[in-house]
Amino acid sequence: MSTDEVWRLQGGRDPKTYRDGGGDDPECCSFQEMAGKGHYGPGAGTKQGIYVCTSAGKFLASINSSSPKSVAAMLRKGLDAWSRLPESERALVPAHAKPSHRWEWSYPEDGLVLEETLRYLPGGAAERKGPFNRDYAWFSAAEARLFVSASPVPGEERTLSKVLFHRLARQHLLNSVHGESGAFGVKEVAGDLRARVLAVDGEEVRLRITGTSTAVSDKPWDRWRPQRIDARLIGFATFDRKEQRFQSFELAARGTVTLHSEARDGEARTRSIGWFFKLAPRNVAAARLSPTHLYAYNASWVTKPKVELHGLPRERMRPRRAKDRGDGRRPPP
């Protein structure tokens, strides 16, 4: 069993557009051919779901459901289809399987890698803790050194590089608790990060990091992102100048998410939300997963695929309104 990000595999929104643009990654092309026989059929649109196929990519069964019973029934169907296959087909492997691009290949070996946890915060003593999600934030070695000045002294305080602020405000302080949320543009965010040197002990520099961030969507119809996100940040970190690496790093942020006013009967809704960043382990394979919005980092050290899947104009991402859907239900906020 394996998992992957469906946007990459399905070639963005339209496999034909992906291939016409020169997309030829063997993994993606194999998935598109296989998934076209599944529950959503061929053509454009999402192919999200659970698929059963042979190692060579022959489709057996699929479903897009969170119901354990439904998924179990689909797996039994796939197993039955597998049992009817000739032994020769079961052992087939793809002619070309090596991917032409993986975001994980840009992992900053000598940089700063943070594990991010985000969740909605309870609104009262009687309210249960909300759901949570995880992501990773990457900084190259050169970017990580921007947290510390060339000659730090205790009491020194300065505003940090916009590169660091934008990395967090645009691609990580997001409303991704229930799943993926869109990133913000440069002109949609305001605020800054500041660092104060608490102590210098030999080669170790102890920092206190604070900041504020406000992100406002410039597309009032864009349900892919909330209308506004406000956050305040505080954290502590220790940088080893000899090793040129952080020995510890913890950064917490608390804020509010304001959904678009039309999302619920014309009234804007807000949710309290929290984010927490800490050093990710370097000896755990799962901790090398790429950040959700690595494609939007706009960093020279990040290698991009031949076909830029996330480069579609926002207008093409606009969701249909309830009256266009024909079922009387509003799209999810």
Q: Cα-flanking dihedrals φ and ψ of residue 242, to 5°?
A: -70, -45
Position 163 scores a pLDDT of 98
Encode pLDDT of 95-151 as tens digits: 777 888 999 999 999 999 999 999 999 865 445 666 899 999 999 999 999 999 999
Position 263 scores a pLDDT of 46
Split at pLDDT 50, 70, 90, the class of 323 is very low
Q: Are the C-beta atoms of residues 136 and 277 closer than 8 Å to each other?
A: no
Bridge partners of residue 197, in order along the sequence? 207
Encode pLDDT of 218-272 as tens digits: 887 777 888 899 999 999 999 999 999 999 999 999 999 998 765 445 556 888 9
How far apart are alpha carbons 219 and 210 in whole angstroms? Answer: 29
Encode pLDDT of 259-282 as tens digits: 876 544 555 688 899 999 999 999
Proportion of the chain above pLDDT 90, given as a percent: 65
The two tokens of residue 84 are: 């009817």
Encode pLDDT of 142-179 as tens digits: 999 999 999 999 999 999 999 999 999 999 999 999 88
Q: Are the C-beta atoms of residues 43 and 35 closer than 8 Å to each other?
A: no
Query: What mean pLDDT value characterizes the chain?
Result: 87
Query: Tokens 């960043």 correspond to what residue?
Result: 277
State yes or no: pLDDT of 314 exceeds 60. no
Spatial CB neighbours of 178, under 8 Å, sequence gap ≥ 6: 131, 133
Task: Provide mean pLDDT across the span 210-214.
Answer: 98
Q: Is 79 helix (H, G, I), strand (E, B) or coil?
A: helix
Position 49 scores a pLDDT of 95
Burial (CB count within 10 angstroms: exposed 0-12, middle 13-18, buried 19+), residue 34: buried
